[in-house]
Amino acid sequence: MSQPTVPPTRQQTPEQVRAFFDAHRTVRQYQNAPMPTEHLDTILHAAQRAPTDATAQLYSFVRLTGETKALVAELSTNAHIASAAESFVICMDTRRVRQVIEVAGYAPGLSPAIDIHFGIGDAVLAGQNMLIAAEMLGYQGCWIGGVMNNLSAIVELLHLPEGVLPFAALTIGLSAEDTPYRPRLPRPLVIHENGYQDGSPAELRAATTQMNPIAARPGKDGDWARLLSIYFGIGGSMEQRETVLREALKQQGLWAGE
């Protein structure tokens, strides 16, 4: 059985792999330097090599330049979309696959819940491939959920038709900031074996203490549970985004409800 030649980038030691992922930072301040065409070409190539559901490639990226880049920065209230070397709106796209089917003379089916499930999956697989390729080249980036802040205006600005919905924006550039290594949850709360196990209140409290530094600001200790409650608590930003997202799902023909 012959095997293709294994490139050296696939013969790393565990220490090298850890060093790679430990060097990841979410970076919002970028050096004012455009990305060379060869690098842009490489990260887009990496995006397209991502695994995909059912060979279908259920995603589209909208690369932002010029005035549109500035407008999406404003609409999403994330100024670094304008200042990053490269900025994209990463979309699920279950439109193109149906066009391919129709052009070949078949009748497309209807499966909005599945479309969202695998569409978001494919969009994130391709986007994370692109970010990791950029990180291999020495860049850093930032996934931006803030496209939800003005979703329908962004959909309109980018002429996103039925079957296409932004998942998030993604910015990439050379870092101009010093970002600390950020904590993560204790592994036993995240990785289960053979069956899901809830954390006990004591374990959840210990996890919160471990996570607190991620909510710290200069001169102010972190309170992770409070930060999460601002996002996921009653009346929090996720409940506000819920209304916006439901409207967009209906508008884009991706609503599975009655």
Residues 87-106 that bind a copy of itself (CB under 8 A): 91, 94-101, 103-104, 106
Q: Is 246 in the site for a copy of itself (CB under 8 A)?
A: yes
Q: How many chain residues bind a copy of itself (CB under 8 A)?
A: 149
Rounded Cα distance between 243 and 253, Å, is 16
Kindly tell me which of 79 and 182 has the beta carbon lying closer to a copy of itself.
Answer: 182
Going 161 to 163 to 166 to 171, the CA torsion angle's sign is negative
3-class DSSP state of 19: helix
Member of 74, 149, 238, 251 binding a copy of itself (CB under 8 A): 238
Q: How far is the CB of 219 from a copy of itself (least distance, A)?
A: 19
Kindly tell me which of 83 and 94 has the beta carbon lying closer to a copy of itself.
Answer: 94
Kindly tell me which of 85 and 142 has the beta carbon lying closer to a copy of itself.
Answer: 142
Give ∠ CA 87-93-97 in degrees, rounded to 5.
140
Residues 8-67 contacting a copy of itself, CB under 8 A: 8-12, 14, 16-24, 26, 38-39, 41-51, 53-57, 59-66
For 35, which DSSP code?
Answer: P
Measured in degrees and rounded to the nearest 5, phi and psi for residue 60 equal -140, 140
- Binding to a copy of itself by CB under 8 A, coded x per residue (else -) over 176-215, reads xxx---x-xx-x-xxxxxxxxxxx-x--xx-xx--x--xx
Residues 210-229 contacting a copy of itself, CB under 8 A: 211, 214-215, 224-229
Q: How far is the CB of 74 from a copy of itself (least distance, A)?
A: 15
Close Cβ partners of 252 (under 8 Å, ≥ 6 residues apart):
155, 160, 161, 162, 163, 164, 165
- Binding to a copy of itself by CB under 8 A, coded x per residue (else -) over 104-143, reads x-xxxxxxxxxxxxx-xx--xx--xx-xxx-xxxx---xx
3-class DSSP state of 171: strand
> Which residue pairs from 156-160 have beta carbons closer than 8 angstroms and sit at least 24 positions apart in sequence?
157/68, 157/71, 157/72, 157/75, 158/62, 158/68, 158/72, 158/89, 160/62, 160/91, 160/252
Q: Is 172 in the site for a copy of itself (CB under 8 A)?
A: no
Rounded Cα distance between 170 and 126, Å, is 11
Q: Is 162 in the site for a copy of itself (CB under 8 A)?
A: no
